Chains A and B, each alone.
Chain A
Amino acid sequence: MTVLKTIANICLVLITVFAVLVSIAFVYYHFFVDDTTTGVNNIDNQVGMDIQEILKDDELTEEERDELQDRYFLEVNYYSNDKNNGIQLQELKMNYFTSYKLTLQDYRSTGMQYLGDYKGLPLDTWDGNSEVSVVKIGSNDRYYGTSDECVKIANDYVDKSFNYYDYTQGVAWNGVTDENGSIATVLTRKTEFIIKIDDRAFAISLNKYFDKDVGDVRNIFGIGWKVGEKYNRYYYTYGSLFQSCMQAVRTNSAGYGDYYITVDLSSLFSIKEYDTETGKYKTDNVTDIIKTYSVLKFHYDENGARSSSQSMFGIIDNNSKYDLTQDKVDTTYWQERMTYNLNAQSKLNGLPVWTYRYSQVYEGYFVSLSMDAKKIFNEMPRTKVNITFNVNTDTDKQIVGLDYNAFENIEIDTLTINGNGRFYCLDKSLFGTSLQTLKYSGTIAMDISSKAIDTEYAEVVL
């Protein structure tokens, strides 16, 4: 019996020791390890949607892929006008989802635009005559600006200094009106954005504040004395976020350009994770996630903004045709064509663009476009090709004409032959080229096969 009791006591002591160790581990982890940074999270994790899945969609164009890859929660576009050649333009865009399904259809952006250098202050709801709203038990500390009325004022506040735009399906618009309500996202402290981090949905809202000691001084007949602490509550708004972002961009060490930075949003935003299984928010404290996972993508320019095309919304001051260009001309056109001017010295990524075939019959070289060049031209949508040969001096090879299938449906605008002698165009050498103009020196004798070309063209003797 004594032996059993001894064994039981030993077990009890061992369990107790283990419990003490667990307690120590908890205290250590809770107070010393909790905020340790470990591992690497790629910047792609900041993208507001599951890019990897969506990018597999074959129906996406390259432009759509580029656009999707570049979406982050915060984006800033800042034209500083340091060169004094436009206007100062500051823009902030937030990309988010409208539901926890996190699908492409739920994707939306809302942005703020300010013409000039925005200088705002945190919202002060205290009018100076407010009653003491909260008094801590056992102290004389007073808190102003905390009443339900103040909170309501703060939560409903919309800074009218800005132009607000929503962005859906590639089009930006302003749907905010004072009198008729709004069909756009209104940025207040109650606004909740759904963002995606590490494949999980989080709801974030800009609802933080800070209390500032303004001193509680009693004053009788000009004699004042401090009786306790008096705090006024200041509420952060989207203007605070806007100003902080512009400050971050303005002071970045890389200077002008396009960069990414990580920003700590924890002093402005609160965040909670959505549990898709229960349909409720989790209660875990996940504030740290917006300390380390928030990426701000920005464009910082030394020029001033001059055209609405420079806005990330395509609009400046609610005007999609905003343009400060002087001596404006009508630039409407139907189609553009990229012009390529080729001659015997032209290179194709450093390699010859022409191939030469020697003919003993004609005692010279017939020229044709290389297969690689034909392939490249066929892949380009609209090109205008002008070709100029000087048959006597261009190369060490005596060029005597265009070879069979020299161009194979590559469209040519103007073909110019300089020099002297006879120049042959063999069968199908200009088939499918839709040649517009053939120019040649008066000293050149053109010998064009009747089957060389299948379209009409103009001839010009130089």
Chain B
Amino acid sequence: MRWWGYIICFVLIIAGVFCGIQLYKEVKAESYVNGSIDISNKFSQESFKYKSTSAVFYHDLYDDTDTYYFEKDLLKTENFDGEKRTYKVMLNDYNLFNAEISAGAVFAVVTIDFYDTQGQLVKSADMNVSVKFLSNKTQLTLATVGNENAQFLEQYFADNGFKLQIIEIKEDLN
């Protein structure tokens, strides 16, 4: 081998060492950068769960029934089947065991009584809870008749939050 051959080898080896160090640094330093985020945007653990810190009821000016609605279009819920499976419906801490469950929908009527500091009943508010599991979305609707009912329910949900769960029962009834 000629003398310049040794020089070329020497230069290439030095370059290789340098590149090797850089390669090691880049792989080690940025390996955690590689990745993608898995956002399924689907309900998974429970059949359905919606929670909010409040619920505000709106009245359609063209609706002459004096009905106030809280409506939400939510993500599609997978695998709900009210005919083949059994579910329990929970509104906050309350078990709505009287809810009517059909193939793709849940409907319940709840009554919440409000008492003043003297223990006297000041308002009894009926509210319809409807959840429809459609092919492309889940439709949640709360409805109550009357402005005062709507305001008391809004106050209740502002104080306690709103959490509606529809959970499949597999073994235990509770």
Contacts from A to B (Cβ < 8 Å): 9, 12-13, 15-16, 18-23, 25-27, 29-30, 34, 36-43, 45-46, 63, 66, 83, 85, 198, 200, 254-262, 282, 284-286, 288-289, 292-293, 295, 303, 306-307, 309-310, 314, 325-329, 331-341, 346-351, 353, 372-373, 375-376, 379-381, 383-384
Besides A41-B35, A286-B29, 14 other CB < 8 A contacts? A13-B9, A19-B15, A22-B16, A29-B23, A34-B30, A85-B58, A259-B41, A288-B30, A292-B35, A327-B147, A335-B114, A338-B113, A347-B97, A348-B97
Encode B21-37 as 1/0 by CB contact (under 8 A) with A.
01101110110111111
Sample (9) of A-B pairs whose CB atoms are under 8 Å apart: A12-B6, A22-B23, A29-B27, A34-B26, A255-B73, A258-B75, A260-B41, A295-B37, A327-B147
Closest chain-A Cβ to B72's Cβ sits at a distance in Å of: 7
Contact A43–B16 (Cβ < 8 Å): no
Contact B86–A40 (Cβ < 8 Å): no
Contact B23–A26 (Cβ < 8 Å): yes
Contact A336–B39 (Cβ < 8 Å): no
Contact A37–B97 (Cβ < 8 Å): no
Give the chain A neighbours of B8 by CB distance below 8 A.
16
Contact A286–B73 (Cβ < 8 Å): no
Q: Report how far A372 CA is from B27 CA in the complex, Å.
A: 59
Contact A258–B74 (Cβ < 8 Å): yes
Closest chain-A Cβ to B45's Cβ sits at a distance in Å of: 11
Asked, given contacts A261-B39, A331-B155, whether A20 binds B34 with beta carbons under 8 Å apart, the answer is no
Give the chain A neighbours of B156 by CB distance below 8 A.
336
Contact of B111 among A18, A338, A348 (CB under 8 A): A338
Contact A39–B36 (Cβ < 8 Å): yes
The 7 tightest CB contacts between A and B, nearest first, are A19-B16, A26-B19, A309-B54, A339-B111, A331-B155, A284-B29, A333-B114
Give the chain A neighbours of B6 by CB distance below 8 A.
12
Contacts from B to A (Cβ < 8 Å): 1, 6, 8-9, 12-17, 19-20, 22-23, 25-27, 29-30, 32-39, 41, 51, 53-54, 56, 58, 72-75, 86-88, 93-95, 97-98, 101, 110-117, 119, 122-124, 137, 147-148, 151-152, 154-158, 161, 163, 169, 173-174
Contact A329–B151 (Cβ < 8 Å): yes
Asked, given contacts A23-B19, A43-B37, whether A285 binds B111 with beta carbons under 8 Å apart, the answer is no
